[in-house]
């Protein structure tokens, strides 16, 4: 399988994943920055990164995820439905965690707490 990593393909890839970047990377990271003083990170992987390395390393991990997704995208894109599903799942996770973090900031309770999951 050939991976095409030209400038044009990377910029079109970034456009394709713009909602992943907006919600999963920027939204989650920024809302985590603002929510941490009011609560704690319950996800063990980000919690470990935050505790051992700090908030900016969490952003670097998220950016690294974008590059990893770019590398494996040609394999996922072999099926248009699989690529669409992958993008929608990641976007949905990004929206969920951003809303969850904003609820901590604005209401003092997370969506997970309101639903009784934690």
Report which DSSP code applies to 108. S
pLDDT tens figures, 91-114: 999 999 999 889 888 888 888 788
pLDDT tens figures, 10-34: 899 999 999 999 999 999 999 999 9
Total number of domains in the chain: 1
Class of residue 118 by CB neighbours under 10 A (exposed 0-12, middle 13-18, buried 19+): exposed
60-64 long-range contacts, CB within 8 A, separation 24+: 62/24, 62/25, 62/28, 62/29, 63/25
CA angle 87, 110, 98 (to 5 degrees): 30
State the Cα–Cα distance between residues 26 and 3, nearest whole angstrom: 26
2 located within any domain = no
Q: How many CA atoms lie within 13 A of 17 on its CB side?
A: 25
86 located within any domain = yes
Average pLDDT of every residue of the chain: 88
13 located within any domain = yes
1 located within any domain = no
98 located within any domain = yes
61 located within any domain = yes
Range of the domain at 68: 7-114
Helix (H) or strand (E) segment spanning residue 86? helix 80-107
pTM of the model: 0.84
């Amino acid at each position: 399988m050939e991976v095409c990593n030209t400038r044009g393909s990377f910029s079109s890839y970034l456009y394709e994943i713009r909602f992943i970047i907006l919600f999963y990377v920027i939204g989650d990271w920024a809302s985590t920055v603002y929510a941490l003083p009011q609560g704690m990170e319950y996800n063990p992987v980000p919690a470990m990164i935050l505790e051992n390395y700090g908030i900016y390393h969490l952003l670097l991990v998220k950016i690294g995820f974008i590059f990893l997704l770019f590398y494996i995208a040609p394999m996922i894109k072999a099926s248009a439905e699989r690529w669409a599903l992958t993008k929608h799942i990641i976007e949905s996770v990004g929206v969920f965690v951003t809303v969850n973090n904003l609820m901590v900031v604005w209401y003092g309770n997370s969506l997970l707490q309101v639903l009784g999951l934690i």
